Amino acid sequence: MSDKVAVLVAGSWGTALASVLASNNREVWVWTRTEEQAREINESHTNNRYLPGITLPSNLQATTDMKAAVHSAAAVVIVAPSSAMREVAGQLKEHWNDEMLVIHATKGFELDSLKRMSTVIAEELGCEEGRIVVLSGPSHAEEVVRRCPTTVVVASADANAAEAAQDLFMNTYFRVYTNRDMLGVELAGALKNIIALGAGMSDGLGFGDNAKAALITRGIAEMLRVGMEMGANPLTFAGLAGIGDLVVTATSRHSRNWRAGSMLGQGKSLDEVLSSMGMVVEGVRTTKAAYTISQKYGVQMPIADQLYHVLFENRDPRSAVEGLMGRGPKTEMEMMPLETWEQWHT
């Protein structure tokens, strides 16, 4: 099998994963849309727009030619924004073959169809969704490229494909677990961005640690409710793709979603926030998708609902918090009926 791996595209997370693969002595080609970015990576070994101050491995190469990037590769890692996933996967189809391992590391939904990224990729490539691998978990790109200890999960219905992805990435600073619940891993990775936005907004409002801890905890309940309704294993939400990724995304200044929420809490408009970020904030699109999903499946998602009103209906963040706190009395375990828990437990 070839040691060549193609990574599409050269954003912060794509570049970080490419650096892991390069440190594992793979032949790594990163596809980018711009000649300027390709030249910077090849000549200066930097990608300063996305990872300022970081020197990339010298065996990491970049190109604007997707055919050259993908040709004879054993694996293709797709890290396009959710809004661009169908376009990138469609371009890949011409250069892809059945022997290539396909991994994606994008956390979100296709907005119009509400489809997960694995579904979008499978449709464009004309392959079975179950053979695709999703990589997720608590993993800031800024820390991965500095080789800070990081642990992630790869999930696929095809155990052999998941194990192949595990072998591809795993090393002494990047530990990889496998999981068969691709649905749960993709849902958790997408939905936690909504809660991270809310946590940032809480901090921006100056509400303190009590409020943020409550938001994270009830956010997990919200993620679990919709995940189980859609058929995911509830235990996945207690793992790296769920609690692990939620904690890191909802508490760190590295998190785009947290930073965006914090600015919203400080009174900035959504347009101002997105303009100042200069990078994709997946939680914004995911909030819109989750608002529709909650109605489609009849699942209560009060945090996502209030964030939707703030993001798209100009509701004041402080008023949204009052809406959450003023809800009627509930039992804490309403998100997980006992008979459902017993079904999984036995």
Query: CA nearest 162: which of 149, 150, 180, 148?
Result: 180
* Tokens (6 digits) for 330: 């509930």
Query: Residues 107, 115, 192, 288: which is the catalytic one?
Result: 192
Asked whether the beta carbons of 272 and 262 are under 8 A apart, the reply is: no
Report the distance separating Cα 110 and Cα 39, nearest Å. Answer: 31
The values of phi and psi at residue 119, to 5°, are -65, -45
For residue 42, what are its two tokens?
Answer: 């090849």
- Residue 324 one-letter amino acid: L
**Residue 31, phi then psi, degrees to nearest 5:** -95, 130
CA-to-CA dists, residue 198 to 134, 142, 203, angstroms: 25, 22, 9
Give every strand in the sheet of 133-136, ordered side by side: 60-63, 27-31, 4-8, 75-78, 101-104, 133-136, 150-155, 174-179
Q: Rounded CA gap, 211 and 216, in Å?
A: 9
Alpha helices in the chain (DSSP H): 12-23, 35-44, 66-70, 85-93, 117-125, 141-144, 159-169, 182-204, 208-230, 245-251, 256-265, 270-277, 282-297, 302-312, 317-325, 338-345
Q: How far is CA 103 from CA 122, 131, 249, 299, in A?
A: 11, 9, 22, 30
Sort strands 133-136 and 101-104 into parallel, antiparallel or unpaired.
parallel
User: In whole angstroms, what is the distance from residue 264 CA to residue 270 CA?
Assistant: 7
DSSP 204: H
> For residue 323, which amino acid is it?
G
Token couple for 198: 């809310």
Assess whether 115 carries a catalytic annotation: no
Query: By CB neighbour count within 10 A (0-12 exposed, 13-18 middle, 19+ buried), where does 157 fall?
Result: middle
Residues noted as catalytic: 192
